[in-house]
Amino acid sequence: MTPFTTHSFETASETAQPLLIAAKGAYGFVPNLLGTMAEAPALLEGYMTLAGIYDKTDLSETERQIILMTNNRLNGCHYCMAAHTSISQGVGVPKDIIESLRTDTPISDPKLEALRTFAAVINETRGWPESSDVDAFLDAGYTRQNILEVILGTSLKVMSNYTNHIAATELDAAFAPNAWTTDLVKTG
């Protein structure tokens, strides 16, 4: 596989440098994912912009992380599973929900489990859910707006997960305590 550079302020293009500065301001460091995306400043800007838009949905932080982590797991993204486990811990997502997302086990809260299930359906069907899947999601208390917000979160994860797959992004030390492998997912 062709190696990719994880850019720093010094190696990034003039277009990417302000984005990396903003990332450092938000995270206290430049995550390797964003340093890698700096190779294509338009991707980096698109990802950071879409992440900001995603934060404006009607979904709670826990609900947003459920969508993101479900996609990370289904896409097999080791980097993003570790990163979003750390992020989820930092924003107060309950430990049992994080564990369910990391191991592909049901969430005890029925509404949140309906969200996890629907996010998986959207990913696995590439946006072609059955009408019964949509009805079950709506019956759980979600809205048509939320359906589209699940698509937004799924789109965000395509950008980061696929970048990490191709670039083999190195896990940051900040996320290393939450390293994840598919061995953690239930089998049988």
Q: What is the pLDDT of residues 21-76, one digit of tens each?
A: 999 999 999 999 999 999 999 999 999 999 999 999 999 999 999 999 999 999 99
Question: pLDDT, tens digit, for every residue of 160-170?
Answer: 999 999 999 99
Residues 85 and 139 in one domain: yes
Q: What is the mean pLDDT of the chain?
A: 95
- Confidence check: pLDDT of 181 > 90: no
**Degrees to nearest 5, angle at CA 82 with 181 and 160:** 100
Exposed e or buried b for every residue in 44-67, given b needs 16+ CB within 10 A? bbebbebbeebeebebeebbbbbb
* 47 domain residue, yes or no: yes
Residues 89 and 39 in one domain: no
Quick check: pTM over 0.85? yes
pLDDT band at 188 (very low <50, low <70, confident <90, very high): very low
Residues 48 and 113 in one domain: no
Residues 92 and 36 in one domain: no
Task: Measure Cα distances from 43 to 46, 47, 138 in Å.
Answer: 5, 6, 33
* 150 domain residue, yes or no: yes
The whole-number pLDDT of residue 137 equals 98
Full residue range of the structural domain in which residue 31 is found: 7-56
Residues 86 and 179 in one domain: yes
Residues 67 and 124 in one domain: yes
Backbone angles phi and psi of 166, in degrees to 5: -70, -40
- Confidence check: pLDDT of 187 > 50: no
Single out the residue in 56, 72, 96 at which a domain terminates: 56
Residues 177 and 88 in one domain: yes
* 1 domain residue, yes or no: no
**Count of domains for the chain:** 2
Residues 34 and 78 in one domain: no
Of the chain, the percentage scoring pLDDT greater than 90 comes to 93
The whole-number pLDDT of residue 182 equals 75
pLDDT band at 2 (very low <50, low <70, confident <90, very high): confident
CB contact at 8 A, 63 and 150:
no
Question: pLDDT, tens digit, for every residue of 100-124?
Answer: 999 999 999 999 999 999 999 999 9
Residues 71 and 136 in one domain: yes
